[in-house]
Structure 1
Amino acid sequence: MDWLGSGSWVDAYAPEGFEAFTPSHGLAVLGLIVCVLLLWLTRGWIGSHKPVSEGIRWLLITILILAEVTLNIWYVAQHIWDVQTSLPLELCSVTLLLSILMLIFRSRWLYPIILFAGIGGALQAVLTPNLAYAFPHYRFIHFFVAHSAIILAALYMTWIAGFRPTWKSVGGVMLFLNGLALMVWIVDRALGANYMFLTGKPSTPSILDVLGPYPIYILAEEVIALLFFSLLMLLFEVLPGGRLYVRLRKGAVYGDDGVL
């Protein structure tokens, strides 16, 4: 793996650092937006052509697997794999692995976790990256491709596979996140690590900087997560295919039980 041991595009000690809201960052975000819009606009056509829909599903699976495998190869080749920083215990690492399982098994149990926690965590990462490397470094490309694939995996299962979230699943995902946070916090304490930033803020600028000191920002994250999940749920309700959208299209604002 000598070819991974040198060269500025893979060097773990590359001097040029990432800066948010630069043209390269903007293009990465724009690329995600274009992919989301294309998936939305072509959802009907993709859904009616099984070879295409299956091809996209396996493409996303392949991208997500390669993202995790190549990252660990890079850690090892650069001699920086460390139990305190390299385990897949960040929220996006967990949702990436769960996204693979969701896509392979078409899991309805994992779907709301990826839809809410996956999109929430990946979107925050894309907009305010905790990243040290600028384009065209491998880690820059890996970071945005992996996080974008998590978002697209959730949207694929919604728009192409026809899965739908429920308000009950919002509470279920909140319980999952708190259970996950407790387990990761225990690992953090045992290893002296800071996975999911449960023992301190990241060294690079992030949204956590405006949420108060430790541990107040963790409580603030809980509130923000619940609000974001609720807004996301409402968005899927009013988009074509959502239950509220269907009711309004039929001219009925209230359901049979009299509840909106």
Structure 2
Amino acid sequence: MYDAFFSVEGNTFVSFHTSHLIMLLIYLIGFILLILFSTLKTRSIYGRIYTMIKWFLFILLVTSEVSYQVWSATSGIWVLSEYIPLHLCGIASITAAISLLLQNKKLATLTFYIGFIPALLALITPELPYDFPHFRFWKFFLHHIAISWASLFLILTSSISLKYSSMLKSYGLLLIYAVFIGFIINPALNSNYLYLRDTPLSNTPLDYFGDGMLYYVNLCLVALAVFSLQWGIVRFLKKS
């Protein structure tokens, strides 16, 4: 049982098989419950439930990242080029945890844009070598579920009014970060953070973005479209 959970070998993950669909269902249930919870702001139980959700998400985010680093190090596979949390969801996990603690509106806004749909897309098209019941399976899904939930929770439970200008600022910060990763970090570490050097090993929508400069142009355009979609979704949810 220990080897099945922690070994660097395990059953190969297969997209949209039973284990994958169950985790997507869990995400969907939590998503619906978060939206329903956001309508309870005038109820006396709101404060207690809010605190429980806040700390649950914070603990899940921190535990997922720390356990992942410990597992990779103790398994002898940790390398700078793969295990630093520099992918978009890794950064979103860190900013989400900090936002849950500090209630910083600007950081919460950034977290929402880089974490809500990006983490959901990762859940739908995982780059994951191991299937249930391996540690990496649990870590990947619980971590990305927590990232997406926390990103939405931070916005729905706050007085933050998402303006289109704040979306553009977040998008601009993402572009600056991508330039830093693409021109400095990836060449220095021979890494593929943000998938700026190559597409993921698993089949993802990035496979259809083309090659060379076209790949980067499509990345930028799709990121802007996703950010705009998120802005529209929350505007709709808050009005309704």
Q: TM-score range by the shorter chain?
A: over 0.9
Amino acid at match of 2:200: P
| Correspondences of 1:214-253 after superposition (within 5 Å) | 214-239=212-237, 241-242=238-239
Change (3 A) 1:141 1:46: farther
Aligned partners of 2:37 and 2:112: how far apart in 1?
Answer: 20
TM-score under structure 2 normalisation?
0.93
Aligned partner of residue 9 in structure 1, secondary structure? helix
Assess if the C-alpha contact under 8 Å between 2:117 and 2:230 holds in 1. Answer: no
Amino acid at match of 2:220: E
TM-score under structure 1 normalisation?
0.86
In the other structure, the counterpart of 1:162 is 159
In the other structure, the counterpart of 2:18 is 23
Amino acid at match of 1:26: L
Tell me which of the two structures has the higher relative contact order, counting C-alpha pairs closer than 8 angstroms and 6 or more residues apart.
Answer: 2
| Correspondences of 1:17-96 after superposition (within 5 Å) | 17-45=12-40, 48=43, 49-96=46-93
What is the identity percentage for the equivalent residue pairs of Structure 1 and Structure 2?
Answer: 27
Aligned partners of 2:209 and 2:142: how far apart in 1?
Answer: 27
Change (3 A) 1:222 1:117: same
Change (3 A) 1:47 1:173: farther
Which of 180, 189, 209 is the equivalent residue of 1:211?
Answer: 209
Aligned partners of 2:139 and 2:86: how far apart in 1?
Answer: 17
Assess if the C-alpha contact under 8 Å between 1:123 and 1:147 holds in 2. Answer: yes
The unaligned stretches of length 5 or more in structure 2 are: none
1:174 equivalent in alignment to 2:189: no
The unaligned stretches of length 5 or more in structure 1 are: 246-260
Which aligned runs of 4 or more in structure 1 are off by greater than 4 angstroms?
Answer: none
In the other structure, the counterpart of 1:10 is 6
1:142 equivalent in alignment to 2:139: yes
Aligned partners of 1:195 and 1:162: how far apart in 2?
Answer: 33
Aligned partners of 1:183 and 1:238: how far apart in 2?
Answer: 34
Aligned partners of 2:232 and 2:61: how far apart in 1?
Answer: 28
Q: CA deviation at 1:146?
A: 0.6
Q: CA deviation at 1:47?
A: 6.5
Deviations 1:105-129 (A, max 9, x none): 0111112211111113201101111
| Correspondences of 1:179-190 after superposition (within 5 Å) | 179-185=176-182, 186-190=184-188
Aligned partners of 1:195 and 1:47: how far apart in 2?
Answer: 43
Change (3 A) 1:47 1:104: farther
Aligned partners of 1:112 and 1:44: how far apart in 2?
Answer: 20
Aligned partners of 1:202 and 1:155: how far apart in 2?
Answer: 26
| Cα RMSD for the two superposed structures | 1.6
Assess if the C-alpha contact under 8 Å between 1:63 and 1:149 holds in 2. Answer: yes
Aligned partners of 2:28 and 2:159: how far apart in 1?
Answer: 21
Aligned partners of 1:39 and 1:13: how far apart in 2?
Answer: 36
The structure with the largest helix share of the pair is 2
